Amino acid sequence: MEYPVIDEGGFKYIETKGGEKHLLLLHGLFGALSNFTGILDRFGKNYNVVVPILPIFEIPLLKLSVSGLVDHVSAFVQKKGYDKVHVLGNSLGGHIALLYALAHPERVGSITLTGSSGLFESAMGSTFPKRGDYDYIKKKTEETFFDPSVASKDLVDEVFDIVNDRGKAVRVIATAKSAIRHNLRERLHAIVAPTLLIWGKEDQVTPAFVGEEFHQRIKNSRLVLLDKCGHAPMMEHPEDFNGYLEAFLKEVA
């Protein structure tokens, strides 16, 4: 089912309004709403699944940082009046989810992380962005997944368009550098919400050892490692991902 993007009060988002419990999905640097199609289809009727679009390309450049994006999410949750959210983040979205949980533990019912930054991430390399080279961007996008065919032409085109827009490319780099500066290694012990970690064994961006370290440092956490899976398990193995997520949410919600 397709959900319209709502634009109100300085926020853009989609909301399924399928239940009383709020499942907040946070996308990564190159994340698109399509990344969460499987979750929206599976949970949209029984949960209020909400996807705020992070204003990476709209926020004033001087305010663009991981902290600035956390402030945006905080203001969004407050404006919507959600008393408690079950927050799920992929890549940069996971990093933001953790910082939000540290700042507002009383508002977080659970955390689900998949391919999250915050400890270590290997981005697109020192040559990024390589503007104008479609094959290079296609190759790098495909490397996000174990199965390169998951990188659809639409997804590659979207990444290529971002890289070839100088203003957007600068913002991507600025956000990535901010994420590296906001390493959470020494703060993860303060996470109190039950946490599910779903990681691809073949993740080349945040390798499996990153998921294992998150598991070691977050007390109330469990780790699932998926075979033949890269940086976006919810896209590459949607049935397995959703099965683990559903069981977890039923337990904690």
Per-residue pLDDT of the chain (253 residues; tens, 9 = 90+): 789 999 999 999 999 999 999 999 999 988 778 899 999 999 999 999 999 999 999 988 888 999 999 999 999 999 999 999 999 999 999 999 999 999 999 999 999 999 999 998 765 444 455 567 899 889 989 999 999 999 999 999 988 988 889 898 899 889 989 999 999 999 999 999 999 999 999 999 999 999 999 999 999 999 999 999 999 999 999 999 999 999 999 999 8
Please name each of the domains of the chain with its CATH number: 6-123+183-252 (3.40.50.1820)
Burial class (CB in 10 A: 0-12, 13-18, 19+), 124: buried
pTM equals 0.94
If we measure between CA atoms, which residue out of 252, 131, 128, 143 comes closest to residue 193?
252
Residue 184 is encoded by which pair of tokens? 């959470």
* HEC assignment per residue over 164-210: CCHHHHHHHHHHHHHHHHCCCCCCHHHCCCCEEEEEECCCCCCCHHH
CA-wise closest residue to 232 among 144, 157, 160, 117: 144
